[in-house]
Structure 1
C-alpha cells in the first residue's frame, strides 16, 4: 500500500491517458493520492478528480507563482471548499524565488493569509518552497503555523532547515530527486528524518525518478521513491510503504 501525497493528475500532460495513468498507479499498489489544486484553473479540476475516485483526495490553495492573480473572494472560495469531505489540506502554498512571476511582497501576503485561514479552520498545509528557505521558515514561525503543521512538499533544503520544520510539527516529503545519483543533500536529509515524520510523493508530471528521468512522471513511480527511501533507511520496502502510508493517513486526518 503506497500513498502519493502530492500529484497533479489534472495536468494537461495527462489529457490523453488520465484514466489509464490513474489505474496504472492503483495497480502498482498506490491506493491513495492527493491531487493539488493551486490556482483558479486547477482547483475545479482537482475537485472533479477527488469526487470521481474514492482513493483520490484534494488539497486546495494558491501557489506562490500565481499569487498575483488572487482576487477578492478567492480566499472565501478556498475556505468553502475546505468543508468538502475529500479536501484534506490547504496547499500548495509558500514562496517561489526561482520563477519571477509574482513579486515577493505579494507572495508573502498571500502565504500569510493562507496560513491564517488554515489556523482558523484547523487544516494542515502543504508547503511549496523554492529557493526561499529562510523566508519560508520565518513566515511559518511568525504566523504560528505550528498550530496546524503540515507537509514540506518535495523537500530540498538542508538538514538545518529540515530540523526547523520538524520542530514546528511538519512532515518532510521526498520525491524523485532522492533517486538521482548526485542528489547528496536530499538523501542525507531523508536518512536523518525520523520515520514517523517521513512522507513520499511524485509531484507528477514533474521530478521523474531514475530510471525514467527526462520523461513524464506519474503516480505509479512513487514506488521507485519508496524503494530508494527503504534503501536509504535500511529497512525493507514493505516497512517503508506501511510507515509512510500511516504517516500520511494521520497527517491528513484520513480514516
Structure 2
C-alpha cells in the first residue's frame, strides 16, 4: 500500500469528483492521503475532507510561503497557530511552510520570519514540518541551520535538488525528501540524483492537483497517480514496486505518526 504524503485534494479542482478520486486512490493501492494546509481560505475545505474520510485523510496546519504577504501574514499566522494550539483536531504536521522565491523575492524577509516561527511551533508540538522550497534551497538551509536540533524533523516536499542539496538535507539528521511527478519527467534530471540515494531517505507524494507525472504531465494531477511515481522509483532503484511501497510507506508512518 502507498501513502500520498502531500496532496491538496480539498482544492476546488476536485469539487466535481472528489469522492470518485478517493475511490480511485483505494483502487490503486493508495491507503492514506496527507493534506497540507495553504492558508485561511483552505482550512474549512481541508477539515471537511478529513471529517468525511477518517483514517484515510489526515490534516496538517501551516501557512504556505506564497500566502505570506505584507498586509496579511501576521493574521494568517495567528489563525493557523490558534487552530494548531487551541483547536480540538490532531494535526500530523506543521505544513505547508517554507520559502518560495520563484514568484516574489521581495517578501523574503517576512517569509523567513514566518518559516522560523512555524518551525518553533512544530518543535513545541513535537510535530514534523513539511517544507516548500522553490528557488530557495540556500535560504531554507539558512533557517533550518538556525533551528535544527534533535527535536526538528520533517520532509522537504517536492525535492528537485541535486546531490549537494540532498546531502545537506540528509546531514540535518531528521529529514526525508518527498518525491513526486517531477521524478517521471523525461529530462528533469532528478532520476540521476535519486539513483545515488537509499530508499530510506524518501517518501512519495503527488502535490495534486499540480505537477502531474508522465504521461499526464500538464493535466490535473491526482493522488491516484502516485503509483506512477512509485513505479518510476522502483525502475530507478532496480527493485520491486512492493519494496518501494513498503519502505516509503513505513517512512511516512514513522515521520507522521500514522497507525
> Is the TM-score greater than 0.5?
yes
Match of 2:23 in 1: 23
Query: What's the secondary structure of 1:114's corresponding residue?
Result: helix
1:3 aligns with 2:3: yes
Query: Is structure 2 residue 109 aligned with structure 1 residue 108?
Result: no
Structural mapping, 1:208-219, within 5 Å: 208-219=212-223
Tell me, in whole angstroms, the C-alpha distance in 2 between the residues paired with 1:167 and 1:20. 41
Q: Describe the superposition over 1:16-50 as per-residue Cα deviations: whole angstroms up to 9, x where unpaired.
A: 11111111111111001101212001122112212
Question: Which residue of the partner structure matches residue 62 of structure 2?
Answer: 61
Q: State how 1:1-150 maps to structure 2 within 5 Å.
A: 1-53=1-53, 54-68=55-69, 69-72=72-75, 73-80=78-85, 84-85=89-90, 87-100=91-104, 103-144=107-148, 147-150=151-154
Q: Once superposed, what is the RMSD of the aligned Cα atoms?
A: 1.6
Measure, in 2, the Cα distance between the counterparts of 1:209 and 1:34. 18
Deviation at 1:142, TM superposition (A): 0.5
Note if contact 1:36-1:43 (Cα within 8 Å) is conserved in structure 2: no
CA distance in structure 1 between the partners assigned to 2:244 and 2:154 by the alignment: 20
Corresponding residue of 1:167: 171
Contact 1:89 1:124 in 2 (8 A): yes
Structure 1 CA distance for aligned equivalents of residues 161 and 149 of structure 2: 18
Deviation at 1:146, TM superposition (A): 5.2
Structure 1, gaps ≥5 residues long? none
Is this contact kept in 2: 1:140–1:146, CA < 8 A?
Answer: no
For structure 2, the residue ranges without an aligned partner over 5 or more in a row are none
Q: Distance in 2 between matches of 1:123 and 1:82?
A: 15
Gap change, CA 1:23 and 1:81, over 3 Å in 2:
farther
SS of match in other structure, 2:219? coil
